[in-house]
């Protein structure tokens, strides 16, 4: 069997089109567009490239975007004051603080200072709690798990009653996606198992999975014989395993590999996400959706 590819690059385009259309409609009816601020402290090249992509995407869908660059030696108090300013700015619906922050700043303190109603990353404890309660309580699911669930839904994979096995228990992927899949509702109602480094028989758990979600950060961790024939395999892992010269640009680029042995797995699975081009493009896409949702909550449209 050759698995159906679930391409994040294609789903991203669909969702960004939908967001753009909705932003236009809201602008016509209510005279406002979503506002997103990205706070970047320092000038790490990786952080700059993430922020640039977020700003570019926000611009594409018609948001007002503010890029607020701060020096690497900004004090914690000044950064907290800046967040407070945006918390009280009516034109801003989403606040992003690009991580990591310099060592002299307490990351947790900064993230917790963001108004939960503008926390479009979904990392504030209030939003983590809302996600756990589920249903109408949920405001901003964290973007990578939100993207994973959306991919499963749009691929038409049945989740109700499905055995879902999540490899990894991080706060940004493993735990939230497990929590989302177990809730009542569309794209969920699953029976969920989380496995991790202390799990006794990883293979046996994975072999039961109708939907296998792997977020471990270990290249080729999941072997083809761990996959149930016809299963949906979502590979979240992004591992740099070397470098190559890009045929398009002639520049040196990273060779990326997922957590699943893709070439072998695609012959067994029913659905599979590639790396790159699978889950990766979904994260920023869902960040845009969360920012749009933030404005809709404010306008009473949700």
Query: What are the residue numbers of the active site?
Result: 54, 98, 121
CA nearest neighbour of 94 among 70, 72, 122, 69:
122
Handedness of CA 154, 155, 156, 158 (dihedral sign): negative
If we measure between CA atoms, which residue out of 240, 129, 139 comes closest to residue 179?
A: 129
* Burial class for 300, CB neighbours closer than 10 Å (0-12, 13-18, 19+): exposed
b/e map 240-258, b = 16+ CB within 10 Å: eeeeeeeeeeeeeeeebbb
CB of 100: closest distance to ligand NAD in angstroms?
13
Closer of 119 and 235 to ligand NAD (Cβ): 235
Contact assessment for residue 178 and residue 132, using Cβ atoms and an 8 Å cutoff: no
The number of angstroms, rounded, from the C-alpha of 294 to the middle of its chain's C-alpha atoms is 16
> Of 8 and 35, which CB lies nearer to ligand NAD in the complex structure?
8
Binding site residues, ligand NAD, CB under 6 A: 144, 167-170, 172-174, 196-197, 202, 215-218, 221, 236-239, 279-280, 283
Strand boundaries in 146-228, DSSP class E: 163-167, 191-195, 211-214
Q: Residue 242 forms beta bridges with which residues?
A: 255
- Nearest alpha-carbon partner for 286 in 173, 178, 167, 185: 173
């Amino acid at each position: 069997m050759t698995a159906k590819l679930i391409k994040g690059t294609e789903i991203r385009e669909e969702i960004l089109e939908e967001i753009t259309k909705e932003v236009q409609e809201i602008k016509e009816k209510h005279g406002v567009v979503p506002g997103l601020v990205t706070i970047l402290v320092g000038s790490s090249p990786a952080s700059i490239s993430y922020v640039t992509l977020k700003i570019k995407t926000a611009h594409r869908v018609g948001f007002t975007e503010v890029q607020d660059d701060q020096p690497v030696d900004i004090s914690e108090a000044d950064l907290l004051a800046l967040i407070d300013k945006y918390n009280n700015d009516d034109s801003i619906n989403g606040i992003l603080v690009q991580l990591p922050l310099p060592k002299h700043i307490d990351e947790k303190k900064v993230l917790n200072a963001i108004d939960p109603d503008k926390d479009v990353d979904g990392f504030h404890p209030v939003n983590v709690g809302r996600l756990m309660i589920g249903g109408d309580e949920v405001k901003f699911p964290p973007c990578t798990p939100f993207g994973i669930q959306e991919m499963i839904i749009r691929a038409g994979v049945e989740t109700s009653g499905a055995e879902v096995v999540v490899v990894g228990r991080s706060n940004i992927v493993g735990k939230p996606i497990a929590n989302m899949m177990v809730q009542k509702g569309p794209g969920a109602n699953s029976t969920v198992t989380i496995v991790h480094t202390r799990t006794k028989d990883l293979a046996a758990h994975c072999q039961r999975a109708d939907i296998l979600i792997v977020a471990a950060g270990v290249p080729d961790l999941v072997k083809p014989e761990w996959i149930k024939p016809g299963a949906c395999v979502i590979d979240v892992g992004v591992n740099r395993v070397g470098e190559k010269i890009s045929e398009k640009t002639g520049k040196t680029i990273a060779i990326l590999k997922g957590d699943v042995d893709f070439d072998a797995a695609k012959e067994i699975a029913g659905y599979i996400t590639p790396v790159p081009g699978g889950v990766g493009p979904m994260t920023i896409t869902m960040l845009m959706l969360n920012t749009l949702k933030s404005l809709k909550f404010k306008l009473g449209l949700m």
